Chain A
Amino acid sequence: MTTLNDRPAHRDAGSAELPQVAGVPFHRLLRVEVRKCVDTRAGRWLLVVIAAATVLVLAATLVWGELADLEYGAMFLTATLPLLVLLPVLGIMTATAEWAHRTGLATFAYEPRRGRVVLAKALAAVVLAACLVAVAAAASAVTLLVDTVVHDSSPDWSTDGAAVGGVLLTLAIYTVQGVGFGLLLRSTPLAIVATFVIPTVWTFAGSLVEWMRDVQPWLDLGLVTEPLTEGRMTGEDWTHLATSVAVWLLLPAAVGTWRVLRGEVK
């Protein structure tokens, strides 16, 4: 940048032309959104708590569990259990922050193409989720090594690729689902309640009401991700997953994005 002073770039006072500038590239928006998730105490602590939860789960299995015959893949899947619960919260908080403190006024003044900001937020949540998964993977490796030392055995690094892939996809779905609910409801507590209570009530209702029992396999996100995380997806399972994702992820995300694009930023 050559114009570092506060003076207007051109001094021709009569000119009504603005200088020609390039738009904000997407990678800059993404970097800013990632940074916004880690530059406050609340944001940093959420990440620390999530990482700590995976480590704790591993430590618990190491101490109390029967790990002697556990291979790396199974250990990793255990480590991701807390992520299934906590990554939606990460997604929610990434999305709701602009409304909780009205920082959207500045954010959307800096980039009025709001759709790009929304996309950057969703990607930022996925990037951070990926980092936490990496932490879980590393912690699993350490745990495996410790376990083999304790039991004086050789480490078994075998992994069920389909199951791991399924878990990664499930985690990505849950993270973006959180972003979607956050965009839709714009309030962290509301969105958290909605993300956890609605599926529970849904599952419960499904077990009681006759006709719901038939649609449940199509629309219960917990149910449809079961074969996914176990790495045994069949053709029909994929259509079940697609319909559930459409209803529980795409729909709230689409309505939430539409609200952001069309609404007023106050």
Chain B
Amino acid sequence: MIHIENLTKRYGGLTAVDDISFTVRPGTVTGFLGPNGAGKSTALRMLTGLTPPTSGTATIGGRRYADLPNPAASVGVMLDATAQHPGRTGREVLRLGAMTIGVPDTRVEELLDRVGITADEARRRVRNYSLGMRQRLGLAGALLGTPRVLVLDEPANGLDPQGIHWMRELLREFASEGGTVLLSSHLLGEVAQTADELVIIGRGSIVAQGPTEELVRAGGTVVRAEDAGTLGAALAAADIVTRESGAGLVAEAMPEEVGRVARDAGVALSELRTTGAEGLEATFLELTADTARDKAVA
């Protein structure tokens, strides 16, 4: 549904987005992950026709966003929840959107209800909204036109844990009904549980992409045994690289492989699991390490 091909944006000598390509399929949630300043927002602005790319193409359903008639009726976009006129009420912001898209005012009330903004809060000016409420308002604005595609930049920013859980459910439901979701985040934990697919970007370039499941497993296997010495030796003999970690031994192999080696060596295991999100976190930091700002510190 979303197709990005060799997309590049240069500002003078700075390459903000460097030749990125990926596809987002209908029925999936794709997380666009990267540290601050990695080029996520620039890429999403190019996708939605707000920033002209230096080269490459970005299409949604086979067409450039700027060529879509009444695009908000097909693609829901929220690029910056803070970019709202502070003097408008929440309801007024949605009314303007509804008027442009051509949906009735009743749709505004439905959406306010859907994103959990009460009638009382909707009457207040956006100036008085917390970041979390602005995110909910922005999401309501994206959903106004009953789109089949959602493009959201850092939608979980400023949401409390309940809010994050709520948004996760909403996006999962949207995707399970055939919708396409692309959301960006700089926090791995936020997207790992929501996204089916991940695209990891660091300093403008894609450093890894694939199913979340696979990237999680790529983090390695945590294995523990009372007889750690024998286990370590057996793994080494099987050419499996290991390292010590607080949780136990981390083997760079799949759990089934590690289990087989342990069985053959006759070692009883007390723990065997993929490193999960923490492993992905390590992978994420490692993949973006030479691209992150705090290189020296990391």
Contacts of A262 in B (CB 8 A): 52
* Complex-state Cα separation, A1 to B179, whole angstroms: 19
Q: Check if A40 sits within 8 Å of B88, measured CB to CB.
A: yes
Contacts of A1 in B (CB 8 A): 102-104, 107
In the complex the two chains form, is B74's CB within 8 Å of A21's CB?
Answer: yes
**Does any Cβ of A come within 8 Å of B246's Cβ?**
no
Would you call B179 and A112 a contact (CB within 8 A)? no
The minimal Cβ–Cβ distance linking B95 to chain A, given in whole angstroms, is 8
A97 on the interface (CB 8 Å rule)?
A: yes
Check A24/B100 contact, CB under 8 A, given A4-B110, A18-B60, A109-B71: yes
Q: Which residues of chain A (1-30) have a CB below 8 Å from chain B?
A: 1, 3-19, 21-25, 28-29
Asked whether B26 lies within 8 Å of A22 as measured between CB atoms, the reply is no
**Residue contact A109 to B79, C-beta cutoff 8 Å:** yes
B82 to chain A, nearest CB (A): 8
What string of 1s and 0s marks CB contacts (under 8 Å) between A107-141 and chain B?
01111110000000000000000000000000000
Residues of B contacting A28 in the complex (Cβ-Cβ under 8 angstroms): 99-100, 102
The smallest C-beta distance from A46 to any residue of chain B, in angstroms, reads 12
Min CB distance B28 to A, Å, is 9
Q: Which residues of B contact A190 (CB under 8 A)?
A: none
Would A18 and B61 count as touching, CB distance under 8 A?
yes
Q: Which residue of chain B is the closest to A102 with respect to CB atoms?
A: B83
B-side contacts of A109, CB under 8 Å: 48-50, 71-72, 77, 79
Query: Which residues of chain A are within 8 angstroms of B100 by Cβ–Cβ distance?
Result: 24, 28-29, 32, 110-111
Q: Which residue of B lies closest to A16 (CB)?
A: B1
Q: Is A214 an interface residue (CB 8 A)?
A: no
Write out, one digit per residue, whether chain B residues 193-237 have a CB within 8 A of any chain A CB (1) or not (0): 000000000000000000000000000000000000000000000
Q: Quick check: B68 and A18 within 8 Å, CB to CB? A: yes
Known: A5-B146, A29-B100, A106-B141. A112 touches B66 (CB 8 A): yes
| Bound form: Cα–Cα A14–B61 in Å | 12
The answer to whether the Cβ of B143 comes within 8 Å of any Cβ in the partner chain is yes
The reply to whether B77 and A101 contact each other, CB–CB distance below 8 Å, is: no
Tell me whether A3 and B96 are in contact (CB under 8 A).
Answer: no
Return the chain A residue nearest B110 by Cβ.
A4
Bound Cα distance A106, B143 (Å): 13
Q: Number of residues in B with C-beta < 8 Å to the partner?
A: 56
Asked if B97 is an interface residue, CB under 8 A from chain A, the answer is yes
Say yes or no: is B118 at the interface (Cβ < 8 Å to chain A): no
Which residue on chain A has the smallest CB distance to residue B65? A112
> Once the chains bind, are B146 and A3 in contact (CB under 8 Å)?
yes
Residues of B within 8 A of A21 (CB): 69-70, 73-74
Q: Is A31's CB under 8 angstroms from B99's CB?
A: yes
Q: Is the CB of A265 within 8 A of B50?
A: yes
CB distance from B177 to the nearest CB of A (A): 5
Contact with A along B72-110 (1 / 0, CB 8 A): 111101011011111110001000110111111011001
A101 touching B96 by the CB < 8 A rule?
A: no
A8: B residues at CB distance < 8 A: 146-148, 174, 177-179
Query: How far is it, in angstroms, between the C-alpha of A1 and the C-alpha of B98 when the chains are bound?
Result: 12
B1, B50, B103: the one contacting A105 at CB < 8 Å is B50
Query: Who on chain B is nearest to A97 by CB?
Result: B85
From residue B125, how far is it (CB to closest CB) to chain A in Å? 9
- A68 CB, nearest partner CB in chain B, Å: 45
Residues of B near A102 (CB, < 8 A) are 80, 82-83
Cβ–Cβ contact B65 & A42, under 8 A: no
Rounded to whole Å, the gap between the CB of A103 and the closest CB of chain B is 5
| Closest-CB distance, B55 to chain A (whole angstroms) | 15
Most chain-B CB neighbours within 10 Å: which of A13, A23, A97, A109?
Answer: A109
Residues of B263-289 whose CB lies within 8 A of A:
none
Q: Map CB proximity to B onto A83-116 as digits: 1 under 8 Å, 0 otherwise.
A: 0000000000000010001111110111111000
B174 to chain A, nearest CB (A): 7
**Distance between Cα atoms of A264 and B45 in the complex (Å):** 9
Task: List 18 additional A-B contacts (Cβ < 8 Å) besides A11-B178, A13-B27, A265-B51.
Answer: A9-B148, A22-B70, A24-B102, A25-B102, A35-B99, A39-B96, A40-B87, A101-B85, A101-B86, A103-B84, A106-B77, A109-B79, A112-B50, A112-B65, A113-B66, A264-B52, A266-B45, A266-B50
Q: Which 10 A-B pairs have the closest CB atoms?
A: A40-B87, A23-B69, A13-B178, A18-B61, A102-B83, A13-B27, A112-B66, A265-B50, A8-B148, A18-B74
| 13 A-B pairs in the complex with CB atoms less than 8 angstroms apart | A7-B177, A8-B148, A11-B177, A15-B178, A16-B26, A16-B62, A19-B73, A23-B69, A24-B69, A24-B101, A40-B88, A105-B79, A106-B77
